[in-house]
Amino acid sequence: MSPFTRNRMAVLVSLLASSMALAMPPDGGITDLQAQMQGKVIGLQGDPVLLPRPSVDSSAAVKALLATPITADAAVRIALLNNPGLQASMGAAGLGVTDLQGSNTPAKRQLQRDITTLSAQAFKAWVQAVAAAHSAHALRDAQATAQTAGELARRMVQAGNLSKLNQAQYQDRLSEAALAVARADQQAFVAREQLVQVLGLWGAQTQFELADTLPALPNAAQDMPDFEARAVQARTDLAQATFDWQLKRTPPTAPRDLWDIMGDGASVRALAVKVRSEARAAYFSYRSSYDIAKHLQTEVLPLRQFIHDELVLRYNGMLTSVFDVLADTQAMTMAKRDSVVAQRDFWLAHANLQALLAGAPIDALGGDASATNSEARAAASQGGH
């Protein structure tokens, strides 16, 4: 190779390196990725999206978020900054995240889906942990009421005012209430550990405090007449499959091409059918969960409170038994628990729907905790006379 050729190649390499340096942002494209994720992160409600950067330590930001009781917003922020799975995905994407690679590369599309999915997982894990802790607390209250009824029954037996059979019945109900508390504590522990995993916490970080309550229900459920179309439009994998299929729909040169086109077209239709069905199921769950939660809050709880107040008045007038008041106190406690469970189910359905509309596959969001009310029913039955 002549000196002239070597010098020319060196100049070209230098120019190429300079152009790459100019095109590649110093933060690895994170700022632009954060901007692209606005409105696609579940739980932040329009607040700025912050993602980990290759050369920035996020531990101080995570520590600050853990210093106060964790809200849904804080849980999502911690997960985005601290979840090792997301960081591994970003590291695997590498230069595919930078602006040099374009704004709609497969790496960026996959990473955007991963971010949306993680935010939904963090939001749902937080909802489940808060609801499980509340359920355990409610069942302990019901157990305390059962203990009061049991102690009262014991004293009445000693005074000869109650049969031993009735006392045994109250003792049995107290035992059932204790089992319900133990099961609820198990569920609360598991739910909290699932949140710990999503947030990527360990050691002293796991001693965080949770917020006491779930977010309030919105005034009304959202009307989305175009939810199916929005779900289909958001799925970049479906768009890519459709694009690839359309490219093949050129005049075929061999019988094999016809079979390939037919197979690819069927795959596209199958994915589209699945996405539309998932969208309908998610929206139905969202609307029905809202209706149930709203009914419990606006109809059932006020009615339960009225019944309780009337029973207390009747007891003060010596028109009803103290056991009736205690039994109704438990029923009131469990009605409040049922309301929180319904509120939990609504927010889980809300997260699923929003993630689906942001392009996340519903299969990746994880299973939802079903509203298991057997423990509540067992505890609620205590104290009757």
Tens of pLDDT, residue by residue over 51-70, are 888 778 889 999 999 999 99
- Give the Cα separation of 74 and 66 in Å (integer): 8
Q: Return the pLDDT at 266.
A: 92
- What lies within 8 Å, CB to CB, of 32 at 6+ separation is 25, 99, 103
17 in any annotated domain: no
Helix 236-248 and helix 227-234, axial crossing angle in degrees, nearest 10: 70
The reply to whether 331 falls in a domain is yes
Q: How confident is the model at residue 385 (pLDDT cuts 50, 70, 90)?
A: very low
The domain containing residue 327 runs over which residues? 37-380
pTM of the model: 0.85
Q: What is the pLDDT of residues 106-159, one digit of tens each?
A: 788 889 999 999 999 999 999 999 999 999 999 999 999 899 999 999 998 999
69 within some domain: yes
Q: How many domains does the chain have?
A: 1
Residue 47 belongs to domain with CATH number: 1.20.1600.10
Q: How far is CA 149 from CA 253, 313, 364, in A?
A: 85, 19, 47
pLDDT bracket for residue 99 (50, 70, 90): low
Q: Is residue 234 situated within a structural domain?
A: yes
In a domain? residue 140: yes
Provide the greatest CA pair distance for the chain: 116
Assess if residue 312 is contained within a domain: yes
- Residue 288: which pLDDT band, with cuts at 50, 70 and 90? very high
Note the pLDDT of residue 347: 97
Which residue, among 250, 335, 325, has the nearest Cα to 297 in the 3D structure?
335
pLDDT digit string, tens, across residues 189-248: 999 999 999 999 999 999 999 999 999 999 999 999 999 999 999 888 888 888 888 777
Domain contains 210:
yes
Residue 55 lies in a domain: yes
